[in-house]
Amino acid sequence: MTTHTHTASLVSLRLITDDVARLAGFYEQVTGLPVHWSTPDFAELETPAGTLALGSTRTVALFAPGSAHPADNRSAIIEFLVDDVDAEYDRIKQFTDDFVNEPTTMPWGNRSLLLRDPDGNLVNLFTPVTPAAVAKSARR
């Protein structure tokens, strides 16, 4: 008898929005990475760790009508590892002022900058600064 091990690999996080182009432009500015468009209703920002997908509210009906609502998130934080969060703060404040905090060193050893995207989703840019946080980051 064969035993099957079931594993899952997180490959993508999808945001549903009324304005894919606006979010795509925001995430291109924040990350410096290009967004790849499949259709006017769907784009992806590919990072080494996974993909941030951006889907129009029109795509929700393909899954189940009314199952997702744009700009309605209050529980998730989209996180990006960056080389220097303080330098990123100086750069990003040139195109947005929707910051939740300025760069702050957290008790778990990351220096973090929390801001909101145009739909109000929380975005965290962070840089590990303690030896334990740096070691953890190196394992990713």
Whether residues 81 and 138 share a domain: the answer is: yes
- Compare 8 and 29 and report the one with higher pLDDT: 29
Q: What is the mean pLDDT of residues 84-94?
A: 97
Which CATH number do you get for residue 115? Answer: 3.10.180.10
Whether residues 86 and 29 share a domain: the answer is: no
Buried b (16+ CB within 10 A) or exposed e, 59-89: bbeeeeeeebebbebeeeebebbbeebeebb
Whether residues 83 and 128 share a domain: the answer is: yes
pLDDT above 80: residue 1: no
Whether residues 140 and 85 share a domain: the answer is: yes
Whether residues 11 and 58 share a domain: the answer is: yes
Report if pTM > 0.85. Answer: yes
Whether residues 78 and 47 share a domain: the answer is: no
The number of beta carbons lying within 10 Å of the beta carbon of residue 24 is 20
Domain boundary among 63, 86, 102: 63
Across the chain, what does the average pLDDT equal?
94
Residue 8 domain-assigned? yes
Domain boundary among 9, 34, 63: 63
Domain range for 133? 73-140
Which CATH number do you get for residue 42? Answer: 3.30.720.120
Domain boundary among 19, 43, 63: 63
How many structural domains comprise the chain? 2
Residue 2 has a pLDDT of: 64
Residue 140 has a pLDDT of: 72
Of 99, 98, 117, 10, give the one whose Cα is nearest residue 54.
117
Q: What is the mean pLDDT of residues 69-96?
A: 95
Residue 68 domain-assigned? no
